[in-house]
Amino acid sequence: MEEIRHATLDLSGCKTLWDLHTRIRDSLDFPDYYGKNWSAFWDCLHIDCEYNFITVTGESKVASILQKDIEKMNEILERNKQYWRGQFDYEIID
């Protein structure tokens, strides 16, 4: 991997899907047009993200209603990792 450009995404305390996507947008410096949905997350992560290493924390501290969304987010992170093979990575620390 080239020079590591690292971001931390702390999800602790997210209670709604809006909170979750706002935290994503702010932590990853996504543009103002980020649509706060999973398609927009893929697009921005895949195209507009300046970070090539993301640490995700606090997944166990989000509202239980968001568990499926956390799974979707992790699936997209993994898909991005597979696409960029060696140029992007992430870790989940809880």
- With a cut of 90, say whether residue 94 has pLDDT above it: no
Residues 36, 81, 7, 66, CA torsion sign: positive
Q: Enter the pTM of the model.
A: 0.93
| Residue 28 pLDDT grade (very low, low, confident, very high; cuts 50, 70, 90) | very high
- With a cut of 70, say whether residue 26 has pLDDT above it: yes
- With a cut of 70, say whether residue 1 has pLDDT above it: no
How many other C-beta atoms are found inside a 10 Å radius of the C-beta of residue 85? 7
Segment 62-78 shows an average pLDDT of 96
Please choose, from the candidates 77, 61, 63, 64, the residue with its C-alpha nearest in 3D space to the C-alpha of residue 24: 77
| Residue 2 pLDDT grade (very low, low, confident, very high; cuts 50, 70, 90) | confident
- Exposure string of 38-63, with b = 16+ CB inside 10 Å and e = fewer, is eebbbbbbeeebebbebbbebbeebe
